[in-house]
Structure 1
Amino acid sequence: MVACLVLVLSGITSTVSAQTPLHQQIDQLIAEGKQQFEQQAAPLADDATFLRRVTLDLSGTIPTADEVRTFVADSSPDKRSQRINQLLASPEHARRLQYLFDTMLMERRPGKYVKTAEWEEYLRQSFLENRPWDELVHEILTVDGTDKTTRPAARFLLDRELKSEVVTRDLGRIFLGRDLQCAQCHDHPNVNDYLQRHYHGLDAFLSRSYLFKDPKTKQASIGEKAEGQVSFTSVFTKEEGMTAPRVLDLPEIPDPADAKKAYKVKPAKNVRSVPVYSRRLQLADALTSQHNEAFRKNIVNRLWAMMMGQGLVEPLDMWHSDNPPTHPKIVSLLSEELANHEFNLRYVIRELALTQTYQRSSHVSAETEIPERSAYQMGLLKPLTPEQLAWSMMQATGVTSATLERLQAKQRKVDEKQNTKKADAPLWQEEALHDALKGNVAAFVRTFGIVGAQTTRFDASADQALFLLNGNTIQAWLAPSGNQLTARLKKLDQPTAIAEELYLSVFSRFPTETEIKQVALFLEGDPKPADQDLQQLIWAALSSDEFRFNH
């Protein structure tokens, strides 16, 4: 008999099989209490749609036309799970998470005291190694910037200049899912859960820390004093309070009473002071503690938003009793499983990708009533990030493959001389491509990037439209050179073949009969279409809503 496990999730008892995979448990909880769920829910997406969706989500770009052909033709029953495993093990997945977590943690701030490239490489290496999330956060919050090896991790604090109002708010928002800014001067006027002591409890961890600039090297690092208490007064009630460091409603963490000396390095002019007991170092322990459920629930909510198109709590940083999770059991389940698997983000992402919830079509029949977004009965549209958009456009137009071929040809000459095989190594290929094309990605980030919090919203602008319409970068990608898309289409002499190559390259799917006729009509039956006509055709596809969204 299969053993059963009783889980107490958000105060509700649920009995599930102890051997039921996590992704199946999620699907069961999504359907729980809905008698007509399967009849009302969208079917699973077709293979081409699934491949595009999961490739974008896990590797940050669309698949190639040949990858779509091969995947659709594959009759293996486990091909979806196998593709998920391949993508998660790829170097492109580490780059995708680098982009995602850089945006989440630094919110597109310019590099000030730590070079952006060094920070990004630190994140990428961490995700290549699949480092546990709690370990990564612990390091980010404890390094002081004095050691060259770990200095990139200090960017979270250094580039916020240890400003209390900035760091305290971002600690709450980014790691706890609670924007406590309005609780700085008084209890939050609109959110009963957010109290002034919550804000100042976080502030107390860092109130003694400061930005120190070495007078010789001019390098910034973190210094800390051994004294200083945090007190506050409500501007509304004039009530006074004091708090030691604490995370939300968890117990205060008092300073040790038996310290024989206060400093390892005493404060002095042009000297970075270092206390024996550091409140700042307690922050990472308290934040990632097993007792702090908010830390775990916040990150699984953000991973859910990454994969499903919106958080179980929206906005992602406004978690409170009047804005609870749409599916509290799922949040608790994911939180516990994350802890049980040692904060392995890759494990959670894989299980989310395996769910039927993730794999459902984003379309329902005309006769079916469109369900609420929070019901997750159909796939949700997700706007491509600037990085996804850049890499996908380069993939679609053939820039990626053309660049890789050029880089490989050059590297093979080096390999022959040095008796190496770098040119065929996936990690070398990804790194070489990134270095060669990162300028293009940066141009998209400048145009399409939104400075501020991680969001699931989509906002278009006139600058973005002009960039796509008149930008020299896009126009260069449409030139009929080498084996790029326009050049490939020129070699085809039938509208059906042109439409198929176009749709597989740009939309990652085969065209319908109607779409083939539309392409033929646009080309007016000309067996040798003009370059300009083909370029307009490709540009129209790249500028479409279908391409701009993951669906």
Structure 2
Amino acid sequence: MVSTGPSCYFLPESRDLMSLRSIPQLLTYSAILIAVFAVPVSAQPPLHERIDAALNNGDPQFKKQAAASADDATFLRRITLDLTGTIPPAEKVRAFVADSATDKRVQEIDRLLASPEYARRMQYVFDTMLMERHPDKHVPAKDWRNYLRLSFLENRHWDDLVQEMLTVDGTDEKTRPAAKFLLDRELKAEQVTRDLGRLFLGRDLECAQCHDHPNVNDYLQRHYHGLNAFLSRSYLFRDPKTKKTSIGEKAEGQVAFTSVFTKEEGKTAPRVLDLPEIPDPKIPEEPYKVKPARNVRSIPVYSRRLQLADAITSTENQAFQNNIVNRLWALMMGRGLVEPLDMWHSDNPPTHPEVLKLLTTGLQEQDYDLQYLIRELALTKAYQRNSHQKADAKSTDKPDYRVGLLKPLSPEQLAWSMMQATGITERTLNGLKAKKIKDDPQKGPKLTADARWQEEALHDALWRNVDSFTVTFGTVGAQSSRFDASANQALFLLNGPLIQSWLVPGGNNLTARLKKLESEKEIAEELYLAVFSRFPDESEITQVVEFLKVSQQEAHKGIPELVWAALASDEFRFNH
């Protein structure tokens, strides 16, 4: 007899096992042995379920007041915008809504994450986050963005990316694009130090440069200068032959500071916030690998700059982990657990500390795999709720995620979505495929069927259109979840020649397709599927029918106006 706590199992003596006359009997006893001696494993729910549980923890009214799950069409539009940066085509909406599979949302999330469009979307997101739409200086934006896109195609993990961005010096052409973060900031102490704190630690230390922060007790002068100490010995070097700028470094130089308020003096070795200082090792007799000289990039034996990446990404640096999960939460949910994203301090704590802990622990367990975390966020009930609050739900100043939050489309999302809605994307891709097949009849058909070829060819053909939107709708500097329209943006949508050209009926674009339809009801349905990624309700069909009746005498001249009105609407401008 083997005892396992409350249960007892009677097993035959070992000498009797061979006397068992049937294989089934032997298998049965083998199964019992495995069950008895197996090490018990405590099953833990997946991260997305734990996030949902944490959001309603301690609030008995949460489940009652939480909005229902968004319908399939709304979910498809939301997830396609968030993971690929554009709206889904009308035929995809029809198919997804009609699909009766119970796991179709999970399948769609995984399909989108595996697509080349996901890597392009992350390229846009992280380019905007890290470079904040500042103009190019030393590294072309095209090279930098391609570096980001390829990194996300390979699903490189966040700590590896940051390590590379902060250690490369710009001398190797293969890794030079990663140096843009430091090179394009000219290694200016006030800009680099501030942006290291803001973008990697979630703390804007600008006002702690000359004194402890006057309004945030957590931000101290030594925090600012501790970060600055990693880079204070580094400088930009312009190669007289290649004319390219890279990073050189001296072997000496200390960081000292004086408060302009108290006149108190201090000094610091490199450090990240309140983590221990990183002292310099004993200076060797010859401190340089390459000595300083005219037109020579000096290289010290010991580099303070190369300690920065390890210090920033250290597992001891909780701020690094908190910052990236907060930014991903804001990307998917519409608002950070801490807002503004770069003002993390004790007087501005996360709205849901338990959720934050789950996210950071999950990220660590998965070795900073951002795709894993984005997938888990997309699977939460919080992400998939509709954006209509229940009548009896309470309203609070603090977002509690009982309802989906509206997110303004980025300039890139708006551009690609408008081109998708009007049929420019499909028309351009068909033309590119036809040309490639004509030029290369043997390999063309197979090549043009490849999803990555299609994405890259389409981007190369249409990026100038996207740039037009970026110039009009993009803002230089820190990004915000707020939406503020300007007169230039309104004029761009109202009578900009680019959008107006997309409304001219031609080929199989949206206005041409609508003109070919026989009934106003069919026009309404196709319009709403193409632009809003959903079917219209009866009142919306009636509005379209009435509008078209007025314009019917002019052979549907009103159709371009109808499409334009839909594209310029609030519903189209937001992800909801």
Which category of TM-score, normalised to the shorter sequence, fits these structures?
A: over 0.9
Deviations along 1:93-122, one digit per CA (max 9) or x if unpaired, are 000000000000000011111111000000
Tell me which residue corresponds to 1:190: 215
Q: What is the CA deviation profile of residues 241-292 of structure 1, one whole-angstrom value per residue up to 9, with x for unaligned ones?
A: 0000000000000110153421011111111111110000000000001111
Name the stretch that deviates more: 243-252 or 371-380: 371-380
Residues 393-445 of structure 1: CA deviation (Å, up to 9, x unaligned): 00000000010110111112244234761100000000000000000000000
Question: Is 2:410 the partner of 1:382?
Answer: no
- Structure-2 residue corresponding to 1:357: 382
Match of 1:423 among 448, 455, 459: 448
Task: Tell me if structure 2 keeps the 8 A contact 1:109–1:451.
Answer: yes
Residues 162-197 of structure 1 show CA distances to partners (whole Å, capped at 9, x for unaligned) of 000000000000000000000000000000000000
- C-alpha distance in 2 between matches for 1:503 and 1:336: 42
Report the secondary structure of 1:29's partner residue. helix
| CA 1:420–1:475: 2 relative to 1, 3 Å | closer
Q: Matched residues in 2 for 1:353 and 1:509: separation?
A: 20
Tell me the amino acid that sits aligned with residue 521 of structure 1. E
1:329 corresponds in structure 2 to: 354
Task: Report SS of the residue matched to 1:123.
Answer: helix
- In structure 1, the partner of 2:549 is 524
Among residues 481, 484, 488, which one is paired with 1:463 in the alignment? 488
Give matches, 1:246-257, under 5 Å: 246-257=271-282
Q: CA deviation digits over 1:429-486, x for unaligned, max 9?
A: 0000000000000000000001111321111100000000110000000010010000
Match of 1:107 in 2: 132
2: distance between equivalents of 1:88 and 1:329?
Answer: 27
Q: Distance in 1 between matches of 2:435 and 2:166?
A: 42
Asked whether the equivalents of residues 480 and 531 of structure 1 are also in contact (C-alpha less than 8 Å), the reply is: no
Superposed counterparts of 1:20-31, under 5 Å: 20-31=45-56
Q: Residue 350 of structure 1 aligns to which amino acid in structure 2?
A: R
Q: Would you say 1:443 and 2:468 are equivalent positions?
A: yes
Match of 2:288 in 1: 263
2:364 aligns with: 339
Superimposed CA distance per residue, residues 479-500 of structure 1 (whole angstroms, 9 cap, x where no aligned partner): 1001000000000121110000
**Which blocks of at least 5 consecutive residues in structure 1 are unaligned?**
2-15
Deviation per CA, 1:198-223: give whole Å up to 9, x if none: 00000000000011111222210000
Q: CA deviation at 1:392?
A: 0.2
1:150 and 2:140 matched: no
**Contact 2:551-2:558 at 8 Å conserved across structures:** no
Query: SS at the partner of 1:374?
Result: coil
Give the equivalent residue in structure 2 for 1:392: 417
1:545 offset after TM fit, Å? 0.4
Q: Distance in 2 between matches of 1:88 and 1:96?
A: 10
The one-letter code of the counterpart of 1:412 is I
Counterparts of 1:132-151 in structure 2 under 5 Å? 132-151=157-176
Q: Distance in 1 between matches of 2:121 and 2:451?
A: 15
Residues 33-72 of structure 1 mapped to structure 2, 5 A cutoff: 33-72=58-97
TM-score by length of 2: 0.91
Residue type of the alignment partner of 1:20 = P
Shift of 1:370: 4.0
Amino acid at match of 1:462: A
How far did 1:539 drift?
0.5
Letter matched to residue 496 of structure 1: K
Q: C-alpha distance in 2, partners of 1:18/1:246?
A: 40
1:39–1:133 Cα change, 3 Å = same
Q: Counterpart of 1:479?
A: 504
SS of aligned partner of 2:484: coil
Calculate the TM-score normalised by the size of structure 1: 0.96
Q: Deviations over 1:322-373 (max 9, x none)?
A: 0000011111111111111011000000000000000001002445444545
SS of equivalent to 2:399: helix
Distance in 1 between the 2:554 and 2:456 partners? 37
| Percent identity for Structure 1 against Structure 2 | 69
C-alpha contact 1:479 1:486 (8 A) present in aligned 2: yes
Q: Which residue of 1 aligns with 2:521?
A: 496
Indicate the structure (1 or 2) with the bigger Cα radius of gyration: 2
Seen in structure 2, the aligned counterparts of structure 1 residues 257 and 446 have a Cα distance that, compared at 3 Å, is same
Encode CA deviations 1:104-142: one digit per residue, 9 max, x unaligned. 000001111111100000000000000010000000000
RMSD: 1.5
Amino acid at match of 2:130: L
3-state SS of paired residue (2:442): helix
Question: CA 1:420/1:543 → structure 2, altered by over 3 Å: closer, same or farther?
Answer: closer
Q: 1:56 to 1:164 in 2, by over 3 A?
A: same
Structure 2 spans left out of the alignment, 5+ residues: 5-40
Tell me: CA distance 1:343–1:478, structure 2 relative to 1, closer, same or farther (3 Å). same
In 2, distance between residues paired with 1:529 and 1:307? 45
Return the alpha-carbon distance in structure 1 between the equivalents of residues 395 and 304 of structure 2.
Answer: 51
